[in-house]
């Protein structure tokens, strides 16, 4: 129980620090963390709407949509459907998270 609580506290601290980062960094971090938690599958099924995602990372829905479109143009992701992404350039995601 202590380990789970410590892990969640660490995630909460990371989330607070993330709020001071750029929109691309926030989304890259969220998508990478989700990808890792879901077992590094080929496709990333995002379990929330863009509005919920925007609320979670402290952005507007327009900024989330625009940022994902920018990531598509940069060949970092391919939008397969509204809630399914293919992460194409994981190395670029790592660089954006710093």
Spell out the domains of the chain, with CATH numbers in brackets.
2-96 (1.10.10.10)
Residue 83 has pLDDT above 70, yes or no: yes
Give the helix ranges, DSSP H, for 1-98: 2-18, 23-37, 50-57, 61-73, 90-96
Which tens digit of pLDDT belongs to each residue from 36-71?
Answer: 888 988 889 999 999 999 999 999 999 999 999 999
Hey, what are 93's tokens?
Answer: 């995601």
- Beta-carbon count within 10 A of 61 CB: 14
Looking at per-residue pLDDT, the higher value among 87 and 92 belongs to 87
Question: pTM (2 decimals)?
Answer: 0.73
Hey, what are 40's tokens?
Answer: 């590094």
Check if the beta carbon of residue 87 is closer than 8 Å to that of residue 35: yes
Which tens digit of pLDDT belongs to each residue from 6-45?
Answer: 887 877 677 666 666 788 888 988 898 898 888 988 889 9
Q: What confidence score (pLDDT) does residue 18 get?
A: 64
């Amino acid at each position: 129980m202590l380990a789970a609580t410590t892990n969640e506290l660490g995630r909460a601290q990371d989330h607070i620090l993330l709020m001071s980062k750029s929109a691309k960094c926030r989304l890259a971090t969220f998508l990478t963390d989700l990808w890792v938690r879901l077992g590094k599958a080929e496709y990333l099924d995002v379990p929330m709407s863009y509005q919920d995602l925007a609320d979670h990372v402290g952005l507007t829905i327009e900024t989330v949509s625009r940022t994902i479109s920018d990531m598509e143009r940069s060949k970092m992701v391919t939008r397969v459907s509204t809630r399914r992404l293919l992460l194409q350039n994981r190395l670029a995601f790592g660089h954006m998270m710093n």
